Structure 1
Amino acid sequence: MFDHIGIRVSNVEASERFFLRALEPLGVAVAMKGPDSVGLGKNSKPSLWIYGAKDRPTPLHLAFAAEHRSQVDAFYRAAIEAGGHDNGIPGLRTHYHPNYYAAFVIAPDGHNVEVVCHFPEG
């Protein structure tokens, strides 16, 4: 449904470093830069815009799709190594549906970042 989304952060450079490292297993890279902003995405198309904010932004929940469960695991490791805080280790969340495999990490500014795979193992 969305073409792209923008979030506010207190430190664009720190959030850029976090999101690039955390989402690298999904193939996310810098797609575009603007004044006090950066657009991240795949294939040079910005899908997640990070904008500077003067005040601490209200935390959001951001969920990114993975094609394989191994990408969820890799996201979690990379996000924790990048300074994120655990908010749910990789695993099945069968209360959503039988193949909902996800991990959750709190990013800078308190954003709850999830990577989810909706496919069965293998």
Structure 2
Amino acid sequence: MIAYVTVGADDIARAKRFYSAFLPALGYELEEGPEGLSYALPVQPGQSSALPDFYVKPPFDGRPASAGNGAMTAFEARSQQQVRDLHAAALAAGGSDEGRPGFRDSYGPRFYVGYLRDPQGNKIALFSCNPDEPGRDE
């Protein structure tokens, strides 16, 4: 089980604008501290934790942050419409398009996805596999 994901950012204010454009709509709550941003899902009664957490922080080694080649973090949305809405919101909040929302031939017929880069260059996917919505071939 993945407990948390951390991405580096040199400009925390820009990163906050980008990630706060879509993570709260997916249920994540933000905590800010001197070490950066912590987005976490709320813990439900009787539940020990709601994983994974997502952290945005300056690199611990003090060198500039960089995006990992081939690294990507994916967030699941509730619907294809939410993927489109959150993709647009993230673009408006300083992200860049890495692939507009839609179906991809190389993935399953229900995998609807949009790709972004955050202001630091980290790759983000927003996807939905909602079985109640039409698939690629329907």
TM-score bracket, shorter-length normalisation: 0.7 to 0.9
Residue 117 (structure 2) aligned to one of 102, 106, 112: 106
Counterpart of 1:40? 39
Shift of 1:87: 0.9
**Which aligned pairs between 1:18-37 and structure 2 lie closer than 5 A?**
18-30=18-30, 32-37=31-36
Q: Note if 1:63 corresponds to 2:74.
A: yes
Q: Give the secondary-structure state (helix, strand or coil) at the position aligned to 1:76.
A: helix
Unaligned ranges ≥5, structure 1: none
Cα distance between partner residues in 2 of 1:94 and 1:68: 19
Bigger mean CA deviation after superposition, 8-17 or 53-62: 53-62
Counterpart of 2:57? 51
Normalized against structure 2, the TM-score is what? 0.77
Higher strand share goes to which structure?
1
Shift of 1:118: 1.5
Normalized against structure 1, the TM-score is what? 0.86
Unaligned ranges ≥5, structure 2: 44-49
Cα distance between partner residues in 1 of 2:108 and 2:3: 25
State the identity as a percent. Answer: 26
- Output one character per residue of 1:15-56: Cα deviation in whole Å (capped at 9) or x when no partner: 0121011333323330x3332211012226671011113313
Structure with higher Rg: it is 2
Number of residue pairs aligned between Structure 1 and Structure 2: 121
Cα RMSD (Å) of the superposition?
A: 2.0
What stretches of structure 1 move > 6 A for 4+ residues in a row?
none
